[in-house]
Structure formats: structure tokens, C-alpha cells
Structure 1
């Protein structure tokens, strides 16, 4: 997951690259829409359970929503690291 953040710390855009099943792609796509307009800290509040519920993922596909949540955390961590936070 890649995020574009403005000077105020608000995510203006997000893009993803996922190699996986339809559930993984859908989870990543949903996350890109949900994080836009949020601050980086607000984006961290998005949980895999919310993603799974929104997409009505079956129990065997819950790991796809976990990957999407982990991608948010990684993108925010990378952003903060580059800013020296």
C-alpha cells in the first residue's frame, strides 16, 4: 500500500499492488478508499474486522482482511520513518 500525505498529515491518495485472490484484492481496494481523507493516525484505526464485515468475507478469507490492515500499518510506519517520527 502506498499513501500520498499532504502537509497537514491527511492522506490524499492511496494505491495498492496485491498478488492474491479476489478477497485479498477487494480488501486492499476497500482500504484505499477508506483511508483517503483521513489522517495517518485515523487510518490506523481501521481494523481487519471492519474490512471483513464490509466485504462479508467468509471465515476462511479473514486473513485477507488482516493483510490489508497490516498494509495500512506498514504504509503509515514508512511515512513516519521518512519524516523522522
Structure 2
């Protein structure tokens, strides 16, 4: 089973809100997922990622999509400034 770390859309029309999830690559975008890793709110530019869960899933071979990889880099860049 190929596991991908990707976005699942939540929220209402014109107000998107995304969950960052680990899911089987064959499942639909908003379908079943294995674990919730974090959230992304594009309206407020807010990114919340559990570093523990992210490192676990990357350790077992899950690959992030290009969008999620960009969000991870953005989160890691902002994390030292807030700490």
C-alpha cells in the first residue's frame, strides 16, 4: 500500500479548510485516511502540523504531495521564530 501525505478539503463553499492526512494513494481526496497529521487554513495562513506524527509517517515510507511538502517547509521555517 502506497501511503501519501496529502490535503483533504473541509469547510464550506468559498471557505476552504484542509486537513493534512496520511492516506492510501488509491483512496479519494476526501475519503478514508489513516491518520490526521495537521491542519491548514489558507484564509488565515495558519499551518498546524504534528511533528511527531509527520516523522512517524515519513519513517514508514509515506511521501508528501508537492503542496504538502511546501507547507511542511513553510511550517518548519516559521517554527523557530515562534519558539
Q: TM-score, normalised by structure 2?
A: 0.30
